[in-house]
Amino acid sequence: MKNITKAKEILKILEIDLNQTPEKYQISSNEILEYLISHLIELDNLEKEIYNISQKLFNHEEPYQIQDGENEIWDEYRQRHNKITTSVYLKLNDEQVNSFGEPSKYNYLNYPDTKIV
């Protein structure tokens, strides 16, 4: 519910061109966009959480080696990512879950007045 509220706030700021959206979807475009943006917010929060966990486990003495717990972090990330995206993606695959970092992939949602070209 919190993500829907934030999605509504972001949607008010975003300038979205619906000219190429089929007429039958224009009526419910805000509802669809709120739903999709709320899922992007969830993915953004997940990526930040996993990145922070990864940083805590990082061994500076062996930076190029697989870190203790790294495989478990990736497993958790894939599982939780897939849970979030199951209702959005038509086909899930592990290639969609191939990175996390700082800034996160959807960090721009925290700055909705940023122009995306």
82 lies in some domain: yes
**pTM reported for the whole predicted model:** 0.78
Asked if residue 116 belongs to a domain, the reply is: no
Alpha carbon distances (Å) from 84 to 1, 12, 34, 76? 14, 24, 15, 12
Cα pseudo-dihedral 32, 49, 77, 91, rounded to 10: 10
Contacts from 40-46 at CB under 8 Å and sequence distance 24+?
Answer: 40/106, 40/109, 41/3, 41/6, 41/7, 41/106, 41/109, 42/3, 42/84, 43/81, 43/84, 43/85, 43/105, 43/106, 44/104, 44/105, 44/106, 44/107, 44/109, 44/110, 46/77, 46/80, 46/81, 46/84
Q: What is the pLDDT of residue 77?
A: 92
Do the domain assignments include residue 115?
A: no
Instruction: Give the pLDDT of residue 80.
Output: 93
Series of mean pLDDT values for 10-residue runs along the chain (117 residues): 85 83 88 91 94 83 73 90 86 70 84 67
In this prediction, residue 51 carries a pLDDT of 92
> Residue 60: inside a domain, yes or no?
yes
Domain count within the chain: 1
Residue 92 sits in which domain range? Answer: 2-110
Tell me, what's the pLDDT at 41? 93
Residue 117 lies in a domain: no
Q: Is residue 31 helix, strand or coil? A: helix
Residue 8's SS3 state is helix
